[in-house]
Amino acid sequence: MSTGFFVTGTDTGVGKTTVSCALLHAFSARGYMTIGMKPVVSGQEDGVWQDVEHLKAASSVRLAHELINPYAFVEPIAPHIAAQKTDIPIDLEKIRQSCEKLLAAADVTIVEGVGGFMVPLSLSGLPGERYDTCDLAKVLGLPVILVVGMRLGCLNHALLTACTIKSAGLKLAGWVANRIDPDMLQPEANLQTLSAWLDCPLLGVLPYQTHPDAQQLAQYLDLSRNGLFFT
């Protein structure tokens, strides 16, 4: 039996890749064949797309790069702008087909979104012609895991994102608190508030690390909360 999860975040830079890789390591440690997917990435560093390489390194199944990452843009800009500049439209059906192949090859597929949950992906902004990462998640139809970057403003961002996920008819499988700001005031009070307000299980609280080690951070994830995950 295979399953998959769509990992989104409250914003850009909240640790989606770290959490996605930690999930891959956590499932692998339990004996499951895993693979990560980054449908759209923008921002090349030293000739490679770091997020994609991290996901590939954390995966136990090896498949063609173009399946794992169908769309890659060099400039670190919004993907719809990058798509417009390069005249390469992002095709959600192409991504869906790639994801289906990954799901067929692994026990667990972790799909990492881009930016927040409503980042534009289409070249057109006209009604009926526009689509975003929310639409991508709907096309894939996977349960969603929300990464909350623990910093000032995270309460509003987390609750708005959770509301949008549920309004889209998607299952919010759980959330991960990622301590990205070591100087955040009242972090425990914020955690308690989110735990009370988010109607889904807290899957783990990742401690702050200057250089995040996803394999080490995997130990902080609970994959069996509310029976949603493998045991």
In sequence order, what are the residues at sequence separation of 6 or more whose Cβ sits closer than 8 angstroms to the Cβ of residue 119? 78, 79, 80, 113, 132, 133
Which residues are 31's β-sheet partners?
Answer: none
Domain limits of the chain? 3-227
Handedness of CA 137, 134, 46, 50 (dihedral sign): negative
For the chain, the distance separating the N- and C-terminal CA atoms, rounded to the nearest angstrom, is 13
Q: What is the pLDDT of residues 162-221, one digit of tens each?
A: 999 999 999 999 999 999 999 999 999 999 999 999 999 999 999 999 999 999 999 999
List the catalytic residues. 38
- Reference 225, options 202, 199, 194; nearest CA is 202
The pLDDT score that the predictor gives to residue 23 is 98
CATH number of 3-227: 3.40.50.300
Q: How many residues does the chain have?
A: 231
Q: What is the pLDDT of residues 94-132, one digit of tens each?
A: 999 999 999 999 999 999 999 999 999 998 888 888 999
* Cβ burial, residue 222 (10 Å; 0-12/13-18/19+): middle
Tokens of 145: 């895991």
Give the Cβ contact number of residue 128 at 10 Å. Answer: 6
User: What 3 state SS string does 214-230 have?
Assistant: HHHHHHHECCCHHHCCC
pTM: 0.95
At 145 the three-state DSSP class reads: strand
